[in-house]
Amino acid sequence: MAWAALAGGGVAGGAQAAAAGDSLRQVAEVPVAPGVAYGEFRTTVPRGIAHGHLLTVDLDDPRVTVDLLYPGAVGARSPVSELADARAAVGAVNGDFFNISETQHPGVEPTGASVGPAISSGRRLKGAVPDGQRFGPAMPPGATTEDVLGIGYDHRARLDRLSLRGTVWTPDGPLRLRGLNQYALPVDGIGAYTELWGPVSRQRATCGTDTDRAAPCSAETAEVTVRGGRVTELADRPGAGGVAAGSVVLVGREEGARQLRKLRLGDPVHINHRLVGRGPVPLRFAVGGFPIVREAQPVDGLDASAAAVRTAAGVGDDGRVLYLMSLDGTPGEAGMTVRELAELMSRLGSQAAVDLDGGGSSTLVTRDPFSRDVTVRNHPSGGAERPVPNAVGVFSFG
């Protein structure tokens, strides 16, 4: 297939036309499955040529669905190709930024858990960590860790913001729930950890502050295990090991810890929580990522200096089309700034888009329609796939 100038035509199935002389060049798309197509492109940036890989997903096709892939626990990681193969996805890209290291807190285990809210098949997996506890490039003004790309039960993609609402009902009255399966809790907060968290330690949840990820771990902590609506265990420090099905572990720091210490074995405790969005239709799928395009234009305040391998997801045709893009990490290929990424996603047809995890995490895979093998289409910059906490998976049942 020859590289073709996109002049007077559309990009990626419904994208805006490129003007004559435009630097964007794209290989003709090939079908991956009904409603799903894969293509490559090259575009000129000040540092050279950036090479990208693009999945175009037709959400109007009733055979197509999109869901969050994850390795069975929030605090766990797997390569995108393995996540896609395990769920028989026809394509996927890596998802949210995550707790990749803990150099600021020697002896504390990194959890591998993602930054933002996550919903898979309608199941609430986790809430967002405080803004100051995130990993990844600087967010533009007005963005928060609660920002997500999601698809509702109406089969339409959109950008949304998911806030955790929850209560811990105790004999002394209600306590506000400030976290759900998160690697970092707000100062003075209480978080709930369910069987979805996995066996990784919960110690990291009490380290850092709302504005400083590197701040020391809290000296005032508590942990309470609730099973069958009753307190069954009490501890001074967050523990490790899997949470049994039907149990919830509450972790508190500062004032949250002081409140949990009032509980006694056998006390009745009831916990409820939900993720509340701003859209009219509940989300069936959601992955964390900060907005870079709104109303088909890059948002203000995006970084325009640091170039890197990037992954992004865009929404076109009023939510009917999803664009999943990953740059190639082959040595010598030019990366992009976040501002350039936003401009690219807009040119590809996105009316809205989010930045997902990049660098060594950037990975795009497809499933061969004949052999059924999963192939990594881009070249991860680390030379091999990096295990990640989640991915955006595409399914076609045609």
Exposure string over 144-172, b if 16+ CB within 10 A, otherwise e: ebbbbbbbbeebbbbbbbbebebebebee
Which pLDDT score, from 0 to 100, does residue 22 have? 58
Whole-model pTM over 0.75: yes
Contact 193, 249 (CB under 8 A): yes
Contact 35, 398 (CB under 8 A): yes
Give the residue from 323, 386, 393 showing the smallest Cα distance to 357.
Answer: 386
Contact 267, 230 (CB under 8 A): yes
Residues 261-313: tens digit of each pLDDT: 999 999 999 999 999 999 999 999 999 999 999 999 999 999 999 999 999 99
Q: Supply the DSSP string of 54-94, one letter for each residue.
A: EEEEETTSTTEEEEEE--SSSS--B-HHHHHHHHT-SEEEE
Residues 235-271: tens digit of each pLDDT: 999 999 999 999 999 999 999 999 999 999 999 999 9
Under-50 pLDDT residues of the chain: 1-21
Instruction: Fill in the amino acid letter for 136.
Output: G
Which residues have CB under 8 Å from 263's CB, separation 6+? 170, 171, 224, 231, 234, 269
Give the residue from 276, 310, 281, 275 showing the smallest Cα distance to 293.
Answer: 310
φ, ψ of residue 171 in degrees (nearest 5) = -60, -25
Which pLDDT score, from 0 to 100, does residue 8 have? 26
